[in-house]
């Protein structure tokens, strides 16, 4: 039987991920418009890439909820769900910061120290 409480546990984290994806889409679209390289053809690929990352995170969340005896059969550690979630959030934040840096001329040195790559506008 499906237990709704399992879904409710990850709902706040899902809201954060969806919010970051929407923010990345908006800031990325504005940066692309500013650079005169906006194209609707890139949008589905962008969402597909994020979609696969979100599905992977949800699979690890599901594996973390398995009973202990079933979990040991697959060899998955519940910690992996947190690691995948952290990587997903960090990647989304890096995308937002990279585009915000281009849009608003943020301090490149400060963002570089934080590990955010500079947006490549050469082409």
The single residue listed with the structure tokens 């937002």 is 96
Q: Nearest-CA neighbor of 52 among 80, 77, 3, 87?
A: 87
* pLDDT class of 107 with cuts at 50, 70, 90: low
The Cα–Cα gap between 28 and 40 comes to: 12
Residue of 55 and 6 predicted with greater confidence: 55
Average pLDDT, the chain: 79
What is the per-residue pLDDT across 24-35, written as a single tens digit (0 to 9) for each?
889 888 888 888
CB atoms within 10 A of CB 93: 15
Domain boundaries, the chain: 4-113
Which alpha helices (DSSP H) does the chain contain, by range?
4-34, 43-64, 68-74, 79-104, 108-113
Whether the per-residue pLDDT at 83 is higher than 70: the answer is: yes
Is the whole model's pTM more than 0.75, yes or no? no
Write down the pLDDT at residue 108.
57
What is the per-residue pLDDT across 64-81, written as a single tens digit (0 to 9) for each?
777 666 655 555 666 778
What is the per-residue pLDDT across 36-62, written as a single tens digit (0 to 9) for each?
888 888 888 888 888 898 898 888 888
């Amino acid at each position: 039987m499906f237990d709704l409480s399992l879904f409710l546990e990850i709902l706040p984290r899902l809201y954060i991920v969806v919010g970051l994806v929407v923010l990345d889409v908006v800031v990325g679209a504005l940066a692309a418009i500013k650079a005169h390289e906006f194209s609707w053809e890139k949008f589905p690929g962008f969402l597909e890439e994020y979609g696969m990352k979100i599905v992977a995170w949800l699979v690890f969340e599901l594996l973390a909820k398995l009973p202990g005896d079933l979990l040991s059969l697959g060899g998955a550690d519940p910690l992996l769900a947190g690691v995948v979630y952290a990587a997903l959030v960090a990647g989304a934040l890096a995308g937002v910061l990279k585009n915000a840096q281009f849009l608003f001329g943020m301090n490149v040195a400060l963002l570089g120290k934080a590990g955010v790559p500079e947006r490549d506008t050469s082409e």
